[in-house]
Structure 1
């Protein structure tokens, strides 16, 4: 069995580097146009260039999402944009619309094409059709069981790869094809502008009783009737591998660098442990404990085992018990002083956990905090401010500092 690729989201350049550093084999991201995360930071051409060079210098790959369903006006400048992505040495583009696919085959015939999950591929005949149209990889729809994926793999040529989501937010509509946002807010989810109305709390109002709102209950558990749980398959790595999935995909281009680091590291450790000794592989509860620290909704296993009870009825909020409070920029071992770039408010004397790509996390105290001018401070409240702190253990550049929220 070939070890599957671990594919991570990269909402911006920092997240790209975080994903690579914490163990991703490849990242997917949106450029300046035609991707389904219009409200992510996305990448300028210069950021794309830097990000691709960073990944390639470390033997990793970068895939660019061009997976909207374009209207006529969206096609303007498409050829030049695709040529730019090819010149920047993108490893592949994710596509779902036949018009974009035809254009890509005409103007950048050597650029690898991956069929986006937006194309809703749920059977092997469709997968073979898309393969015949030049798709190197099929990103499967999320509404598939392990058995269905196994059958698709058995009917595909060996050189046609399949990719599947293993972790992250789930869309309550069919593989992301949704018009609810269009109707309610005028923001087109199929062109990257989803307002996530499925996460809203709904009430019922009778036509002749305006202003009288009645909660919508389902089994007396609440009113979030469209709100989905989050996918988490880390406990089932062997079953995913045995299905022949070539790429394990993590959702989350809008999530934080801490989310990216935590989830990538957990899946990296699980995958590596399995391939080190498949016959004696044992799932480690620590991996799930780490995933619970990252921002998430209630976890479930999606459609993989035929369970479709995906809704959370009592809240649409994320579980966020930990915050990232800073990134270590440098460390002076002679004086035990760390230079830190702030991410969330942190106080002098706080006890924080250190997260790094290798090894277990450990805790340190941040003492004698000072600003860039050397002035003592009680807290670092300003976003991305640089401050120093005396610590009692050696740190490394790039270490991520996280803190349990006060309840």
Structure 2
């Protein structure tokens, strides 16, 4: 069996570094043009160059998304942008539009192409077609069952890779190709501007009975008839591997550093454990616990299996809420002092949890809090301030301090 790569989202440079530090084999990012997350931080050419160097220095890969469905105006400057990406040494670009694919083959024929899930590839014939057009990897549509994934993999050339989403938000529309946002708020979801109207609250009203609400309403706030659960396949690592998937993809370029770290850590741990001893592999509940910590909707297995309840009808709220308190910048074992970059307010004496780059999470008490001048303080309240604390556990650079804030 070939060990699949773990592919993580990176909405900005900090998330890129976090994903790699916590175990991702590759990251996918949005550059300055033509990606489907127009409101993410995204990367300038300068920050992309820094991110690529950070990844390559550690033997990891960076893929750049160019997966919009472009209108004529969007194609201006495409050739120059593709050349820029090639010269930055990106490992692949993720594309969905035949025009962009054709242009890439003309101006940067050696740049690896991955077909976006937006192209909704759901059968082996289509995969073979795209592979013949020069596409190295097919990012499968999320509407496929595990049985269909296996069959597709068995019938395509060995030189054609497949990538499949295994975790994160799902779209109510086919392969994410939705027009709701265009009609309701004038933002084109197929050009990176989705307002996620599927998460809005809706009432059903009969045309001639204005003000009379149909009794599908779950509560006085309305119903959430298009609100999908979040995908989670952490308990099915053996099945994903046996299906022949080459890359396990995590959704979430708009999500937090904490989300990226905890999800990558969970899948890294599960995948490595399986390959250490496939015959005796057992699921460890701690991996699911990592996934329950960042904000998420109720989990399900998407279309992989015959799971009936795919929607959340009573709420669009997230299940839990943790705050990231800080990031460990350095640790002095002699004095047991950690230097922290503040992310949210925390008090001297607070108990927090540490999401560790290596090893299991631990709880620590923050003692003897001091600012960068060495002066005692009772709280780290200023954004991004650097402070020190004395603790009883050894930490590592890039460990993340988190604090539970209760159910939402």
The question of a shared fold, defined as TM-score above 0.5 by the shorter chain, is answered with: yes
Aligned residue for 1:255? 255
Q: CA deviation at 1:406?
A: 4.7
Is 1:346 aligned to residue 338 of structure 2? no
Q: Which residue of 1 aligns with 2:381?
A: 381
Match in the other structure for 1:89: 89
User: Shift of the alpha carbon at 1:37?
Assistant: 0.5
Structure-2 residue corresponding to 1:169: 169
Task: Provide structure 2 residue ranges, at least 5 long, that are not aligned to the other structure.
Answer: none
Counterpart of 1:355?
Answer: 355
Matched, 1:138 2:138: yes
Any stretches of 5+ residues in structure 1 without a counterpart?
none
1:299 aligns with 2:276: no
Shift of 1:137: 0.2
Q: Distance in 2 between matches of 1:213 and 1:38?
A: 38
Q: Distance in 2 between matches of 1:143 and 1:208?
A: 37
Question: Deviation of residue 389 (structure 1)?
Answer: 1.7
CA distance in 1, matches of 2:371, 2:136: 51
Matches within 5 A, 1:305-324: 305-324=305-324
Q: Which residue of 2 aligns with 1:396?
A: 396
TM-score by length of 1: 0.96
Q: CA deviation at 1:142?
A: 0.1
Kept after mapping to 1: 8 A contact 2:206/2:214: no
SS of the residue aligned with 1:125?
A: helix
- Aligned equivalents of 1:345, 1:219: Cα separation in 2: 37
Q: CA deviation at 1:215?
A: 6.4
Paired positions, count: 406
**Pair 388,164 (structure 1): closer, same or farther in 2 beyond 3 Å:** same
Q: CA offset at residue 405 of structure 1?
A: 1.3
Q: Following the alignment from structure 2 to structure 1, what is the Cα–Cα distance between the partners of residues 394 and 285?
A: 27
Q: CA deviation at 1:231?
A: 0.3
Q: Equivalent residues in 2 for 1:79-228 (5 A)? A: 79-207=79-207, 212=211, 214=213, 217=216, 223-228=223-228
2:27 is matched with 27
Q: Is the 8 A contact 1:149 1:243 kept in 2?
A: yes
Contact between 1:229 and 1:297, CA under 8 Å: does it hold in 2?
Answer: yes
Contact 2:113 2:135 in 1 (8 A): yes
Cα distance between partner residues in 2 of 1:383 and 1:145: 45
Measured in 2, the distance between the counterparts of 1:151 and 1:95 equals: 24
Task: Give the secondary structure class of the aligned counterpart of 2:65.
Answer: strand
Q: Which residue of 2 aligns with 1:268?
A: 268
CA distance in 2 between counterparts of 1:81 and 1:215 reads 51
Please give the per-residue CA displacement for 1:77-101, whole angstroms capped at 9, x wherever unaligned.
0001000000000000000001100
Tell me if structure 2 keeps the 8 A contact 1:216–1:223: no
Q: Considering only aligned residues, what root-mean-square deviation do their CA atoms show, in Å?
A: 1.7
Q: CA deviation at 1:332?
A: 2.7
Contact 2:218 2:314 in 1 (8 A): no
Query: In the alignment, is the contact (CA less than 8 A) between 1:218 and 1:225 conserved in 2?
Result: no
Give deviations 1:83-134, integer Å, cap 9, x for gaps.
0000000000000001100100000000000000000000111111001110
Alpha-carbon contact 1:372-1:386 (below 8 Å) kept = yes
Quick check: 156-165 or 328-337, which moved more? 328-337
Within 1, Cα distance between the matches of 2:214 and 2:369?
49
SS of equivalent residue, structure 1 residue 214: coil
Whether the aligned pair in 1 keeps the contact of 2:357 and 2:396 (CA below 8 Å) is no
SS at match of 1:181: helix
Per-residue deviation, residues 297-336 of structure 1 (Å, max 9, x unmatched):
0000000013353110111111233221100112233333
Q: Distance in 2 between matches of 1:340 and 1:88?
A: 32
Corresponding residue of 2:280 = 280
Q: What does residue range 68-79 of structure 1 map to in structure 2 within 5 Å?
A: 68-79=68-79
Whole-angstrom CA distance in 2 between matches of 1:150 and 1:226? 29
Q: Structure 1, residues 161-192: CA drift from partner, whole Å, max 9, x if none?
A: 00000000000100100000000010000000
